[in-house]
Structure 1
Amino acid sequence: MARQSISLTPPNDEWLKSQVDNQEYSSKSELVNDLIRQARKQQAEIDWLRTKLEKAENGGFTSDTKEQILAEAKAAVNG
């Protein structure tokens, strides 16, 4: 595993410490890795939505119903 050195603001460091102290995570590293995983998942969702919007803008109107679009969006977020 790659080792990194990062600087944290005092409030962010205190928040990380509190999460570990509350036994939400076993270490700051575990917490930071979890935050990065969440951010990567969120970015993938944003990228998916951006692609869908660009396709819609370039392709005109869709023949999908609101229900189909909503179901597809929910599946992508939860999948």
Structure 2
Amino acid sequence: MATMTISLPVAMKDWVEAQIAQGEFASTSDYVRDLIRRDRERRSKSELTLDDLRRIVDESRKSGIGNRPLNEILAEGDQIAKARGIFRE
């Protein structure tokens, strides 16, 4: 396994140590590995390829001008993002 050294503000270091003390993780390395795994999983669920984006733009152009209010469209987008687990507030 490779070694990596990182610097953290004291508050973050204290947070990590508290998670370990609570028995959530065996070590700092275990905690960081878990964060990386979760980030990779989240990104793999939400990443669109350039081809995906081109297809979406093409479909939207072909569909014409809509008549739905913007707040309705945004609310639908929020629902979709929540269902996919990628909603950011």
Residue in 2 that maps onto 1:65 = none
Equivalences for residues 1-79 of structure 1 within 5 A: 1-47=1-47, 50-51=48-49, 54=53, 55-60=55-60
Unaligned ranges ≥5, structure 2: 64-79
Which structure ranks higher in relative contact order (CA pairs < 8 Å, sequence separation ≥ 6)?
2
Give the deviation of 1:53 after TM superposition.
5.7
Instruction: Judging by fraction of residues, say which structure has more helix.
Output: 1
Distance (Å, rounded) in 2 between the aligned partners of 1:43 and 1:4:
22
Unaligned ranges ≥5, structure 1: 63-69
Paired residues, number = 64
Give the deviation of 1:46 after TM superposition.
1.9
Q: Cα RMSD between the aligned structures?
A: 2.5
Q: TM-score normalized by structure 2?
A: 0.59
Report runs of 4+ in structure 1 exceeding 2 Å deviation. Answer: 50-53, 58-62
Q: TM-score normalized by structure 1?
A: 0.66
The C-alpha deviation readout for 1:3-62, integer Å capped at 9, x for no partner, is 011111111100000000000000010000000111111111221xx3486122223469
> Max radius of gyration: which structure?
2
Aligned-residue sequence identity (percent) comes to: 28
